């Protein structure tokens, strides 16, 4: 029996951990899963809603860390996580993704000699100004077992000197959640409630500091949105960071003046999937949404200069356009005229069974030690 501490911290972690914990609960004689929530995200809309939507059991341990600078947040997670690991003595700690909670918990484990597995390992944007890139690089250097979603990730890890025997290509665990929940999400009245039934619409998310913390990039994106919104409404569930910076940068009037930019509160997992699965196009700076739109076959315009998920461009529906106003408008026009890329095929092992492969590898690796 393997006791596993599954760490969640921020919104993009929940849909990765939920299928893994569910798979562990289906194998109770092999796995004892506990959920540790660092509290990096704490608003009901950024956290609780995802536990409900994804049937994720409530956290066994909540560290209540909250917001802060990178150093403050990372240090607080480390300080509060260390006694939990000492007390629980897990066989494995499982961290996912690339948020501050991921590196903080991995670092605690390696110093204590507790085995740590990283799900979604090996992704690289090669942009070290992104906090997530630093979190990815460092977590992968210290984790014992690295679960990759695509072969480019294996290659990145090998090039960084990670021994092949620590790398397992298992596919994309987010797609386990997507496949399990798609029909339920589609049946919800989300579009009707937002007045979008039977209407073409675009869906927008924005929260990267490089886009929303600076006036120039935010202005360029807003210029593009203004133009696109003359063709169809754009639904914009606003991340708390973005809400704050819109006010701080004095952009509230500008945002409100774009009539068909429809601002809504952050959405839960199922409501968002309801909207993304029927959108004409999605504009985003999120990593996970690039993957979900590829799985759904929905055109995705990525408002960043790079992506750590190149497979979504090679095989999927994603185009990476940056924040140049004209490039965004051109990509949106292509999607609306039906000349956007379509998904060639699903990336290998994005098949809904990644969590089972992760469990098998955890057992196999532990048995071999
Ligand atoms: C974090 C992750 C990012 C991920 C994103 C998804 C890091 C470095 N960044 O960015 O990789 O894509 O989550 O959402 O780990 N806030 C609230 N309520 C909350 C959480 C945050 O109001 O529940 C506000 C606070 O003002 C906070 C700000 O949002 O200071 C930023 O939160 P933080 O967790 O530091 O970074 P995100 O931008 O959410």
Q: Is residue 210 in contact with ligand 1, taking CB distance under 6 Å?
A: no
Pairing type for strands 261-264 and 31-37 reads unpaired
Residue 268 CA, ligand 1 centroid: distance in Å: 16
- Per-residue pLDDT, 166: 96
- Ligand 1 pocket test, candidate residues 66, 67, 307, most atoms within 8 A of CB: 67
- Ligand 1 pocket test, candidate residues 7, 10, 69, most atoms within 8 A of CB: 10
Q: Considering only CA atoms, which of 172, 157, 158 is closest in space to residue 119?
A: 172
Q: Report d(CA 40, CA 43) in Å as an integer.
A: 10
- Per-residue pLDDT, 322: 97
Please confirm, yes or no, whether 207 is among the known catalytic residues: yes
The active-site residue, picked from 62, 207, 239, 353, is 207
Q: Which atom of ligand 1 is nearest to the CA of 288?
A: 12
Write out residues in the chain with pLDDT < 70, as ranges: 343-344
User: In terms of C-beta density within 10 A (0-12 exposed, 13-18 middle, 19 or more buried), how is residue 369 classed?
Assistant: exposed
Q: Considering only CA atoms, which of 292, 319, 280 is closest in space to residue 303?
A: 319
Q: Is residue 248 in contact with ligand 1, taking CB distance under 6 Å?
A: no
Q: Which atom of ligand 1 is nearest to the CA of 287?
A: 12
- Ligand 1 pocket test, candidate residues 99, 134, 248, 304, most atoms within 8 A of CB: 99
State residue 235 phi and psi, 5-degree precision: -90, 130
Residue 201 CA, ligand 1 centroid: distance in Å: 26
State residue 100 phi and psi, 5-degree precision: -60, -35
pLDDT, tens digit (0-9, with 9 covering 90-100), for 338-368: 877 776 679 999 999 999 999 999 999 888 8
To which H or E segment does residue 302 belong? strand 300-302
- Per-residue pLDDT, 339: 78
Q: Is residue 68 in contact with ligand 1, taking CB distance under 6 Å?
A: no
End-to-end CA distance of the chain: 15
- Per-residue pLDDT, 340: 72
Q: Is residue 43 in contact with ligand 1, taking CB distance under 6 Å?
A: yes
């Amino acid at each position: 029996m393997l006791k596993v501490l599954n760490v969640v911290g921020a919104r993009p972690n929940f849909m990765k951990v939920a299928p893994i914990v569910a798979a562990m609960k289906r194998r109770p004689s092999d796995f004892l899963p506990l959920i540790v929530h660092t509290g990096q995200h704490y608003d009901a809309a950024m956290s609780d809603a995802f536990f409900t939507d994804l049937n994720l059991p409530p956290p066994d341990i909540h560290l209540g860390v909250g917001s802060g600078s990178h150093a403050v947040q990372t240090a607080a997670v480390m300080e509060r996580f260390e006694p939990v690991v000492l007390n629980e003595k897990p066989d494995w700690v499982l961290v996912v993704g690339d948020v501050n909670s991921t590196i903080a918990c991995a670092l605690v484990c390696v110093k204590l000699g507790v085995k740590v597995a990283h799900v979604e390992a090996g992704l690289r944007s090669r942009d070290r100004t992104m906090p997530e890139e630093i979190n990815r690089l460092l977590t992968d250097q210290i984790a014992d077992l690295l679960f990759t979603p695509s072969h480019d990730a294996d290659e990145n890890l090998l090039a960084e000197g990670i021994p092949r025997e620590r790398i397992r290509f298992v596919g994309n665990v987010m797609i386990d959640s997507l496949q399990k929940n798609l029909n339920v999400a589609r049946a919800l009245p989300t579009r009707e409630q937002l007045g979008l039934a039977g209407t073409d619409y675009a869906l927008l998310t924005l929260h990267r500091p490089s886009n929303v913390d600076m006036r120039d990039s935010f202005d360029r994106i807003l210029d593009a949105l203004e133009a696109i919104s003359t063709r169809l409404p754009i639904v914009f569930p606003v991340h708390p960071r973005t809400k704050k910076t819109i006010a701080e940068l004095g952009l509230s009037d500008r945002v409100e003046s774009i009539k068909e930019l429809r601002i809504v509160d952050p959405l839960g997992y199922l409501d968002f999937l309801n909207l993304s699965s029927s959108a004409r196009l999605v504009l985003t700076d999120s990593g996970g949404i690039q993957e979900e739109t590829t799985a759904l076959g929905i055109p995705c315009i990525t408002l960043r200069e790079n992506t750590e998920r190149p497979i979504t461009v090679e095989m999927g529906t994603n185009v990476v356009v940056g924040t140049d106003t004209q490039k965004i408008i051109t990509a949106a026009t292509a999607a609306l005229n039906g000349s956007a890329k379509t998904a060639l095929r699903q990336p290998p092992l994005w098949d809904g069974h990644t969590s089972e492969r992760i469990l098998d590898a955890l057992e196999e690796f532990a048995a071999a030690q």
